[in-house]
Chain A
């Protein structure tokens, strides 16, 4: 019997941590890449391209892999998606390109587009090739707030269009959720930082870390000092359970803990509960559940208020969690947190499905993974600077332009899917719109 508040580090042998947080899907070797590439039919009007938020010419890059033109393949990818390397690792391809792949319709087994994309982009990165070049600077300067996928994609595209950008990043490192938020085994080693370095190596992008909006810079000042502004600040707040006892020891934000896992050089020093309960149904819930399991937690249970088909996490992610020994309970929501001596002891749930009633799970830790929220306060200023919001996020048009004529926004701080690939597309689109705007005003 374990005691209340059984939270400890070093639950596993040291070498086990290494294995548990290494690449979950090892890269394709050349011979496997060639076989996989040969499965692509080179479709006309290919459904996969349409399903990719960044519109990568997927049959085009796969054909280049098949002919050993790997450099050309990587460039085809990066021209549309400068974070093609990260997306190859974190995209839920099973609901994007690979779901649309005609081989899914034909035989239920799509071309492994994600793995092929990784093969091509890894090839380029391994050789330290910078395939893009800038020409004469336009003299226009753009401020980018947030050094995550949206901000960096916007800055990179603006740099390719020969504008100068300054990126203000609140944290110590760029990369956003690729660095701080994605499960460690999806983007292992220092990939996120290598990708940031690759993006910056084009030139024309000045990344200033430790500079937060509302604290170190203001939107009004940026609008005054720059020709245009792009906001890609993500979501700063986390939803609460709104239950008594949320301050008990052991009740944690999943996002904050995932960040600690990502930043911990030595995973054995992370304290983790023996029995874990995760509340939520999205990818964050899956990521925290699997990572705590891999840190040595004995029992990990995700509790979600609706059914499997309603979960934000894809079927693939749900299967992955279950393969990792995570239990998923559906149709229940937390009703009470039970504490003892200031520490979490158990969580009582209320059934939400056809059957009524309650049940209690003993838990040393509870992770809240019930969504993040946009925090508007840093954007404050006089009414002239007021950004219009929509459904709690920054309102934008198709070009990602906000209610302010010289301000664009993208990524999680606007409405839409919360994927890296969507953030990159937001940044790219905004950059082209900003470019048109700057040319009109020059």
Chain B
């Protein structure tokens, strides 16, 4: 069995599967259930200053695709609406009862040094393992100058991070908002401010749907709606990109990354870790299926790592980072061509119609004695992968390397590039 023990910014947990700061981690009751189910850690739902904020009824909206529920999920819930002392008391109790689990506390207070200093002292007293600064939530709190309103301004990120590092001995993680043009701005600012690590992504600004009867954005509150934070499986690609950008940035080198965004399975977790995430955090999948999903996340990762010969997380984390590059360095002489396995083909014709209508007219639709047959026209195929992705039969269409015999040539060297090197 591979060793899944995780040490992240000095915080230890038996496995890298943490619950993200969100509704599942709002109370002792929930967090204890999660730990019993096997989660390696939890980031307690964001604490604020008293008096507690007030939440609305009707908080969640979902994106359903082809009958698949909760492919995307959005919420207009704010931070915890329970008094600070209740949360602190429960955090202390949970950490005492579950000393081997990572217990990190998410925080969001007004942008004054005094506010952060005060809350950090209270949180440190619980004995928890670290603080996560919520610079991410894009709704509600941002209108009050907190959450993503901080995360979108690198100078503020750096300033608050520095305050926090000054006023606590705990590891400080900075949770980043994806609602920016480049994730590197706030990530580098966190590093400059002395952050022990970053967590990303928080949710994306979104209107999940429009209720066409009420003529209002969903979820509706008394006939009105507002934008919320978007998460769930549909955001995973955005999160992977942002994690990779930080992981391969020389200025951020060595800064631990806790990966968040649409993780539901061990495979998702492995992808984030391959791109440099030292731990991962989950919310939507737990809110869809309950805490039991962690069982397969741990078991599946373990079995896969054994199969691949990765003995511990160190062997996996960041392993794909060297292969993330800029477009301009891709080999323009590399060529692939689609191949259809006629034995597997079920004659749905999707490869033909998508190529014919929207791409390169490289899949011929033939009829021989009334029988349908779809064939790649090699000379027209540009190796774009579209037919392979449209095909509903796994393995029926594959992309086969078609050696050009030409050496590696990237855009920086290409004759068509007017800006090419050495010109």
Contacts and interface: CB of A to CB of B under 8 A. Distances in A.
Interface of A: 34-35, 38, 41-47, 66, 102-103, 105-106
Given A106-B392, A106-B393, A43 B348 contact: yes
Contact of A38 (B67, B348, B349): B67
Contacts of B66: 38, 66
Given A45-B365, A45-B372, A47-B372, A102 B348 contact: yes
Nearest to B392: A41
A43 B349 contact: yes
A10 B67 CA distance: 47
Contacts of B352: 44-45
Nearest to A47: B347
Interface of B: 66-67, 346-350, 352-353, 365, 372, 392-393
B353 A35 contact: no
29 contacts: A34-B67, A38-B67, A41-B348, A41-B350, A41-B392, A42-B350, A43-B347, A43-B348, A43-B350, A44-B348, A44-B349, A44-B352, A44-B353, A44-B365, A45-B349, A45-B352, A45-B365, A46-B348, A46-B349, A47-B347, A47-B372, A66-B66, A102-B346, A102-B348, A102-B392, A105-B347, A106-B346, A106-B392, A106-B393
Contacts of A47: 347, 372
Contacts of B353: 44-45
A43 B372 CA distance: 12
Nearest to A35: B67
A47 B371 CA distance: 10
A44 B348 CA distance: 6
Contacts, number: 38
Given A43-B348, A66-B66, A102-B346, 12 more contacts: A34-B67, A38-B66, A38-B67, A41-B348, A43-B350, A44-B352, A45-B349, A45-B353, A45-B372, A47-B372, A106-B346, A106-B393
A102 B67 CA distance: 20
Contacts of B372: 45, 47
Contacts of A66: 66
Contacts of B393: 106
A47 B373 CA distance: 12
Contacts of A35: 67
A105 B347 CA distance: 9
Nearest to B396: A106
A35 B353 CA distance: 24
Nearest to A66: B66
A46 B353 CA distance: 11
Contacts of A34: 67
Contacts of B346: 102-103, 105-106
B211 to A, nearest CB: 14
A315 B139 CA distance: 59
**Which 9 pairs show the lowest CB-CB distances between chains A and B?**
A44-B349, A44-B353, A38-B67, A102-B346, A43-B348, A105-B346, A38-B66, A102-B348, A106-B346
A105 to B, nearest CB: 4
Nearest to B65: A38
A112 B232 CA distance: 31
Contacts of B348: 41, 43-44, 46, 102
Nearest to B352: A44
Contacts of B67: 34-35, 38
A44 B350 CA distance: 6
B393 to A, nearest CB: 6
Contacts of B349: 43-46
A165 to B, nearest CB: 36
A266 B365 CA distance: 56
Contacts of A46: 348-349
A34 B69 CA distance: 12
Contacts of B347: 43, 47, 102, 105
Nearest to A42: B350
